[in-house]
Amino acid sequence: MLKQQHTPTGPTTGGPAVPFFSGAASIRRDWPRLEPRLRAVAASGRFTSGTEVAHLERELCAYTGARHVALVGSGTDALVLMLRAVGVGPGDEVIVPAYSFFATASAVLHAGAEPVMVDVLPDSYALDPERAAAAITPRTKAIMPVHLFHQTADMAAIGALAEEHGLLLVEDSAEAIGMRVDGRHAGLFGAAGVLSFFPTKTLGALGDAGAVLTDDAEVDARVRRLRVHGQSADGSYEHLDIGWNSRADEIQAAVLRTRLEHLDADIARRADLAARYTEHLSDLAPRVRTPRQAKVARPGNLVWYVYLIETDRRDDLVSHLAEHGVGTDVYYPRPLPEQPCLAGRRGAGHPVPVATAASRRAVALPLYPDLTEDQVRYVCDLIRAFHARGDRNGGGR
């Protein structure tokens, strides 16, 4: 998810401004606890790969249940380094969903392999296991589901598919911190997974950071080597791999450690706000489709990173909300195979009708812990008024 701020200029007609996301508000809330920790990092004189990073990695192991967590520069870096660390490379195909943030596909290309983009399921927006099965070829090396918005992909079906065909299972769990299925945290169903700490994410830094999660000590060791230019663990300037600079930042680690302390409270708050949205919007069905839960989801599996609705007149609704000071974001305005730089590729040849329909209809509403219930009601009242107006003008088109 790319846009950090999509803040409209302010309401032209009454009501509070509701930015899509406010980085400044999120710092304001945490500042009293952040300040002393940031001062301590400054005083320590060590700004990368120090004790804050080491502590955060251990705390993320405890939170997720992963045996190993390696902090890197961003979620995108985590995807590329993870794919390389599990052995994906030139000549390989990796099956990914056609509906995701661009990095899901570009990371596969950066690892030297071909992303094969297949359609998603309409309820979860996640990889359709049957379409994935149909896309397997002798070159398929790995399958990489994405857990989008508020729920995981169907990991039982995708795990079984990977096992049946001897494929590596890796996860783009960049949005999925806190999501668990039967107690197992997202990212830990196969060889490895990732987290993104981009500022808008459920656990956001004050800049970029990401992590690779794995239970496999060798994969972890390879990621740790790749993030420091492939240098051997003793730091002797002996380079065993062509790696990359994706060192972890002490300031970001200190911020994330502070915020990890209230992550579960934030997740609970997000769930309350999502329930308010659903309560206020459900009678607008079928013109407004509120988020659905896939059959495999159970309430405890859900983490509301994004509250995504669908509607026929999406673009007009976005303008209407913007005119009244409400920020939104369109996740995602086109399916991956329609991205200009991917369109001609071998992996872009599969039909993706579900992803295409979602890209025309979906819009994300503001959702973050310091949003108020009055703001949620204001947004919902605007959506209601928009549809009432449309009805008066002769139907919902």
Ligand X SMILES: *Cc1c(COP(=O)(O)O)cnc(C)c1O
What residue ranges bind ligand X (CB under 6 A)? 1, 74-76, 100-101, 103-104, 146, 172, 174-175, 196, 198, 208, 210
CA gap 175, 150 in Å, rounded: 8
Instruction: Find the shortest distance in angstroms from Cβ 345 to ligand X.
Output: 19
Instruction: Find the shortest distance in angstroms from Cβ 324 to ligand X.
Output: 27
**Cα 22 to the center of its chain, rounded Å:** 18
| Residues 378, 178, 296: CA angle, nearest 5 degrees | 90
CB nearer to ligand X: give 144 or 281.
144
CB nearer to ligand X: give 332 or 378.
332
**Helices (H), ranges, the chain:** 23-44, 51-64, 75-86, 103-110, 129-134, 155-165, 217-226, 250-260, 263-281, 314-323, 353-361, 373-392
CB nearer to ligand X: give 103 or 355.
103
CB nearer to ligand X: give 169 or 383.
169
Instruction: Find the shortest distance in angstroms from Cβ 130 to ligand X.
Output: 22
Instruction: Find the shortest distance in angstroms from Cβ 172 to ligand X.
Output: 5
The identity of residue 73, as a single letter, is: G
CB nearer to ligand X: give 99 or 378.
99
Q: Which residue is nearest to ligand X (CB)?
A: 75
CA gap 298, 365 in Å, rounded: 23
- 8 A C-beta contact, residue 47 and residue 250: yes
Provide DSSP, 344-376: TSGGG-S--HHHHHHHHHEEEEP--TT--HHHH
Work out the number of other CB atoms within 10 angstroms of the CB of residue 29: 16
Work out the number of other CB atoms within 10 angstroms of the CB of residue 228: 20
Instruction: Find the shortest distance in angstroms from Cβ 33 to ligand X.
Output: 23
CB nearer to ligand X: give 64 or 196.
196
Instruction: Find the shortest distance in angstroms from Cβ 381 to ligand X.
Output: 29
